Amino acid sequence: MAATVQIFDRIPIVAAINNDCLSATGRGTLIFSPQKSGKSHLMRYIYSLRTANDAIFCWVNMDLMRAQAANPEKLTDRDFLRYMLMRLAEELEDKITELNPKEARWKADLMAARAQLNVPPPSGTPPDRYQQIVSQTVDALEAPLNMLNTLRLIADDVALSHEASDAYLLDLFHESLEQLQAVRKRVILFIDDFHYVLKQSDFSQNLKYTLRGANSEGRLVLLLSSAIRLMDPSIGRGGTQDIGTVFNDLKLQVLEPFDRELAEKFLDWLGSQDGQTLAADERAYLCELGGGSPQFIETARSLYVGRVPRPLTQEQRSAFEANVLYPALEAGFAQIWSRCTMEQRRACRDLIKSGSPSAPNIDLGAGNCFVACAAMNERVSRLASRFIREQKDEGLTGFAITPILNYESFPSALCLSMPGELEALVTFEMANQTSDPIGVQLTCQLQQFSLRAAEPVTVAPYESQTKEMQVTLISREAASLIKPDNTQVEVSYTISAPAAPGTLITKTFRARILPKDYFVFARRHKGKQNIVSTAWLIAAWVDREDKSVIELRAEAARLNNWSMPGYQTPDSPAAHQVLRSQVKALYDALYARKLTYGNRVLPQYQDTNNFGQTVRLPGKTIGDAQMNCLDGAVLFASLLASCDLDPGILFIPEHAMVGWKQSHSPGADWEFLEITDVTASDFDAALKNGRELFAKYETSVVDVGSLEPLEMKDVEKAAVRVDIRRVWAAGVTPIPA
Amino acid sequence: MSDFPAEPHTSSPYTGSPYSRRTAILDPAEFFGRRRELETIYGLICRKTSLYLLGERRTGKSSLLNALRFPRDPGEFPMPVNPCYIFWNSLYFSSSDESRLLRQLFSQISRELTAPIFDPVRESLPEAGEFARHARRQLIVLIDEFDVLVRNPAIPRDFFGVLRAWAEEFEIPFVIACREGSIEGLLDTNQVGSPFWNILQNVYVGPMSQEESMELISTPAANLDRPFSDEDLDQIQSWGGHHPFFLQMAADHTFRASGREEQKRNFLQEADVHYDYIFSVLPERELAYLRGNRNDSRAESELLRKGILIRDEKGERLFSSLFRDKIIVQPTSFLEQVKAFYIK
């Protein structure tokens, strides 16, 4: 067992962790502290105590795990499971070694107890009662032996698992925990800086779910530390891979920096350990230097008492700070600085300049470490101030970068069908007011649904630049979406300027991704505040390769003497007759399916910038045996296209019709039919009704055959005819079914 | 602060809080309320009807699933005869194949019924069902976090149809828990197979009643001879509403800390991210209702159903005064805080 680590105070939090986490009914706990308040030390202290007898303590050291991994840059589930199982086996071996000497006595006691089963009861004791007492004794004596055997079995299994498959390792992990639980043993898993594990490793959701599951069933007790909350959006929340909420059931224990009183007592405590006592003014001086951070205080004290003689005059102390202490603390300051966002850094700078942050109520995050100094001394520690002043201003005043999210609701259909035409997901506005060129590495991603887009840009001195970034959807994820899902847009950028290290800033925006059958008829442009038609998008619903469409086409061919030749040349009345008979056959085949009229247009989510509705894809219309005007128009257009005819869809106020060109010729006339009639009326009636309605709008209709932005003055009065084949030619592809 | 209850009269040294649990309840002594839901669920199980527990995150679905296996007094609820509960935690099977799932199922059945080991193949399901029937034991399958299982691409689509056939032939009720909205979309694509889903009856797990909330927060402290004062109870209810998760958290911090300000600060340190989460998943129209658009009765009823709003003799209010404070103190709200990042 490792030597016990010493710790000062922390009595309340240690007591709370003992009760909430390490007790027999304890559950997972997160020690949260954004500053250098000693959470790692606290973890090590608790680990060294090993207060719970029924627990197996396992410390997961990520650095060691990396050292043993096949690829240290990319830790996998296998690395984790192998490392974890090896640690478990080591702990079990220790336990077995500890228990081995007792085994012989346990066995002897058990044999003696079993022998009592065959002995007549003492006089006055009823035989049943006697048997019951002896049996209970036997059970009680069997328990430690069973436990010891279980520990050996698990240790042996793990020892043989070096070359095991990933699936076997996972099974072994589960079974080991299950077997340990059966003999009333829990595994307490210590992982320091768990937020890094979540952010940087390549562990699967499966592994994270496994940890959550074992934690919730009490087989495994997670004792984690983190500098950020695990539900923080920056860790990744939303979509199907909802990392942030996987660990939402941990008890939070907040570790605060020391206040002035505790800091002084801490110095006294350190003195009691090594006999190096401090005068009152020396304690005050060191508190001023170290602030509320145990680590900084300890470093400052250690270096201070190590000087012979101790620096007592102003001059000596200035030299001590400049030459000894500052170089020693600088790395720690830098670590805190790296955990601060741009806004937090700005607030820290304001704190130094004016004594208070410019934005009230700002959460300084890790920067609180500097504020802790301020709270104690009414100003930031000299050394922290010096550090902050020495940091190159990454552009907080000289360079500004603003990411603008263009879609709060992202229509997946738009991207699936026409990725190249999609408006940028994020627009970065950058302004460089410095005399240096600034390099920026931009990335953005719609979490879980898109690939990460990345682009380096350089902004010349005293210039501004705008960069728009699109993303490529992961077709499989987007195509499986049939209802809105919450996700996040993650935007990050690293700014590199001469003499300034690159700093990665990551921001997340909440966003919704809309399902693939959400049709956006028009969008309000956020910048211009006008309404732009995206009616061309309906062409993405028209799919001549859909299985149901192909089947219907075959049925239509049967009704039309097995002939669907498409357009005939030359264009003539006879050719029109051939065309009409094909369209009628398609209509009749659909009519025979006995579809009913039914609306399913209201989306589950509607935002104020999209004019849209849910439209069934052709296969779903057939599958549901139900349609409205637009569902029917899409389906019939697919049927027309499957016969090499040129379909069109006409949008008129609150209604849609389907039509076809009389020939392939660009200037050919259009014919429309009222497709909702297919639920009740014959082809002639549908054609008559379609012609009459089309005639009302024929002179005012706007043709859409490309993807050019079409501004709409009044979205509710527009008549728009979409030439499906021309829109396809412009690059729109059908949405995957 | 003037709207705070008075400071507690005594402050006791820390002796361990009985409200520290944030995971699902496994100990009968820690489980309170939900009598109506339990009665419904046991009733359905007795009628061999499968059911689906749905509700928002952290409303206690998993605890309720665990509670089905707690020992019960005779006559407390309608109980199945000779029950044999089989528990699947889907979190363990997010990428496992069918064989592993079945191995786990059969190993539990073998253990519970002292049955032989069945081959982990579909064909063994009737064999296991027959064995249980012969042993006169009522198999009941409990599945937690079902959405994780459904999203597992390694489980063939038709497997759920096989489960339905098994459930029907051997009259095995399934009790399934998953978050509302996490699975409905998948059903439309037939990944689960509507046949399986069609046999499930919904049981909604929403907020607790006022009486259950009081029982949850007052009993553990009273059992330790450290009962909460009326002011404490008011504070806890004012922070947690009727949400068991937030009530537990509010009771925890009220129990631990001695000063009101400290209690509030500690509570918010833990609750804040969960409040943010609630905000982030609220549909737009429900957010609009909370921001003042009171003409949407559907949004109102949804918010009441989820326990975001509470309606009682005092009228209608947000479930938590601190949740309300978030809106009032920061008129930007969560959503607008995010927007504030790019409106510059």
The whole-angstrom distance between A430's CA and the closest CA on chain B is: 12
Judging contacts by C-beta atoms under 8 Å, the chain B residues touching residue A210 are 91-92, 94
Residue of A nearest to B269 (CA): A254
For residues A431 and B344, the answer to whether their CB atoms sit within 8 Å is no
Neighbours of A23 (CB within 10 A): 17
Q: A295 vs A267, A272, A300, B17, B123, CA distance in Å?
A: 11, 17, 8, 30, 62
Q: How far apart are CA A512 and CA A447, in angstroms?
A: 11
pLDDT digits (tens, 9 = 90+) for B52-83: 998 888 899 999 999 999 999 888 899 999 99
A vs B, Cβ pairs < 8 A, gives 113
What's the pTM?
0.64
Q: How far apart are CA A388 and CA A478, in angstroms?
A: 45
pLDDT of residue B285: 81
Residue of B nearest to A33 (CA): B269
Residue of B nearest to A404 (CA): B342
Q: Which residues of B touch A (CB under 8 A)?
A: 14, 16-17, 20-24, 26-27, 57-58, 62, 89, 91-92, 94-96, 100, 145, 148, 151, 184-185, 188-189, 256, 266, 269-270, 273-274, 276-277, 280-281, 283-284, 335, 338, 341-342, 344
* Residue B149 CA, distance from chain mean position: 17
- Identity of the highest mean pLDDT range in A161-165, A536-540, B237-241, B335-339: B237-241
Judging contacts by C-beta atoms under 8 Å, the chain A residues touching residue B341 are 403, 507, 509
Read off the tokens for A322: 């400049």
Q: How far apart are CA A171 and CA B193, in angstroms?
A: 28
Residue of A nearest to B27 (CA): A25
Nearest alpha carbon to residue B105 among B83, B80, B131, B85: B85
pLDDT of residue B63: 94
* Amino acid letter, B120: P
Read off the tokens for A674: 């009222």
Judging contacts by C-beta atoms under 8 Å, the chain B residues touching residue A25 are 21, 27
The answer to whether B338 contacts A510, with C-beta atoms less than 8 Å apart, is yes
For residues A44 and A5, the answer to whether their CB atoms sit within 8 Å is yes
Nearest alpha carbon to residue A524 among A650, A407, A649: A407
Burial class of residue A226 in the structure, from the number of CB atoms within 10 Å of its CB (0-12 exposed, 13-18 middle, 19+ buried): buried
For residues A147 and A184, the answer to whether their CB atoms sit within 8 Å is yes
Of B23, B266, B338, the CB nearest to A28: B23
Of A252, A341, A406, A488, which to mutate for an interface test with B (greatest number of B Cβ within 10 Å)? Answer: A252
E strand spans, A543-677? 596-597, 610-614, 626-627, 647-652, 655-661, 670-673
Interface residue A342 vs chain B (CB under 8 A): no
* Amino acid letter, A582: Q
Interface residue A464 vs chain B (CB under 8 A): no
The answer to whether B92 contacts A19, with C-beta atoms less than 8 Å apart, is no
Which parts of chain A sit beneath pLDDT 70?
1-4, 200-201, 233-245, 339, 341-343, 355-366, 368-380, 392-398, 418-423, 433-436, 462, 482, 497-503, 524-531, 600-611, 707-718
Of B22, B95, B100, the CB nearest to A27: B22
pLDDT of residue A235: 66
Of B14, B184, B341, the CB nearest to A507: B341
Read off the tokens for B46: 């007795």
Buried b (16+ CB within 10 A) or exposed e, B118-134: bebebebbebbbebbee
Residue A499 is given by DSSP the state T
Average pLDDT, chain B: 83
Interface residue A334 vs chain B (CB under 8 A): no
Interface residue A480 vs chain B (CB under 8 A): yes
pLDDT of residue A585: 95
Interface residue A206 vs chain B (CB under 8 A): yes
* B44: CB partners within 8 A, 6+ apart: B50, B51, B173, B201, B203
pLDDT digits (tens, 9 = 90+) for B69-126: 999 988 889 999 999 999 999 988 888 889 999 998 999 999 999 988 899 999 999 9
Q: How far apart are CA B124 and CA B140, in angstroms?
A: 17
- The residue whose two tokens read 């768990």 is A194
pLDDT of residue A263: 87
For residues A68 and A83, the answer to whether their CB atoms sit within 8 Å is yes
* Residue B327 CA, distance from chain mean position: 26
Of A476, A493, A510, A526, which to mutate for an interface test with B (greatest number of B Cβ within 10 Å)? Answer: A510
Judging contacts by C-beta atoms under 8 Å, the chain A residues touching residue B342 are 402-405, 509
Of A240, A482, A510, the CB nearest to B189: A482
Neighbours of A102 (CB within 10 A): 12
Q: Which residues of chain A from 165 to 184 reach within 8 Å of chain B, CB to CB?
A: 167, 170-171, 174
**Angle at alpha carbon of residue A272, lines to A267 and A277, rounded to 5°:** 65
Judging contacts by C-beta atoms under 8 Å, the chain B residues touching residue A606 are 284
Q: A706 vs A422, A535, B32, CA distance in Å?
A: 14, 10, 63
Q: How far apart are CA A678 and CA A681, in angstroms?
A: 6
pLDDT digits (tens, 9 = 90+) for B295-328: 888 889 999 999 999 988 888 888 998 887 665 4
The whole-angstrom distance between A231's CA and the closest CA on chain B is: 6
Read off the tokens for B123: 């064909």
pLDDT band at B249 (very low <50, low <70, confident <90, very high): very high
Number of H helices, E strands in chain A: 26, 24
Of A12, A252, A483, the CB nearest to B269: A252
Q: How far apart are CA A336 and CA A344, in angstroms?
A: 11
Residue A20 is given by DSSP the state I
Interface residue A252 vs chain B (CB under 8 A): yes
* B188: CB partners within 8 A, 6+ apart: A482, A483
For residues A276 and A268, the answer to whether their CB atoms sit within 8 Å is no
Q: How far apart are CA B89 and CA A217, in angstroms?
A: 9
Burial class of residue A122 in the structure, from the number of CB atoms within 10 Å of its CB (0-12 exposed, 13-18 middle, 19+ buried): exposed
Judging contacts by C-beta atoms under 8 Å, the chain B residues touching residue A402 are 342, 344
